[in-house]
Amino acid sequence: MGCLQNGYDPINQYALVSYIPDPLGEFLDRLRVRLAPECRPHAHVTVLPPRPLQGPVEVAESELREATSQFQPFEIQLGDVEMFASTKVIYIEVERGEAELRRMHRKLNCGAVLFEEPYDFHPHITLAQSLPPEGVLDSLSLARELWSAWKDSRTFPVDQLSFVQNTQQNIWIDLMHVRLDQQLAGIR
């Protein structure tokens, strides 16, 4: 910690995600910017939500590489736009693939990435968060309208996971990619 990475100052906050490929990913990024213009989206589904590490990053990477060996690629199908009542986060429900994501989360939340999360794990695609309270319902309505206009595929494969780190600038940096077919695609 403390040294710049790609021009950014990393912090002790990590996550494990699977990026959503285009054209769906690009559409979701545009939708997200429409709802929250200040965000820097890269459409993804989260397997391990943001957390501090319990050990060195190299240990976490090694443990994740080994633990992902028990998982095979699978497909996710997205459902409707919803909102978490307690946090007012607007999201798209995972309609198919939820059981696989929950299983991955249970099995991978250990070792150096172990974290007791403040909320129960709920697979979803975040569209907007931290919105001004007075605009949340309008944003929810707009999100539903824009999502219903998407007529292309609402499915995507989860065949690669990305271990990412946040920065002081709230820009996430890819540290490592692991293919679920066990071929490591390293960044470093």
Query: Which pTM value belongs to this model?
Result: 0.90
> Lowest-pLDDT range, 66-70, 122-126, 163-167?
66-70
pLDDT tens readout for residues 92-103: 999 999 999 999
Classify burial at 152, counting beta carbons within 10 Å of its beta carbon; exposed 0-12, middle 13-18, buried 19 or more: exposed
What per-residue confidence (pLDDT) applies to 188? 44
- Note the CATH architecture for domain 10-186: Alpha-Beta Complex (3.90)
What per-residue confidence (pLDDT) applies to 136? 96
Instruction: Give the C-alpha separation, 42 to 25, whole Å.
Output: 7
Q: Is the pLDDT of residue 7 over 80?
A: no
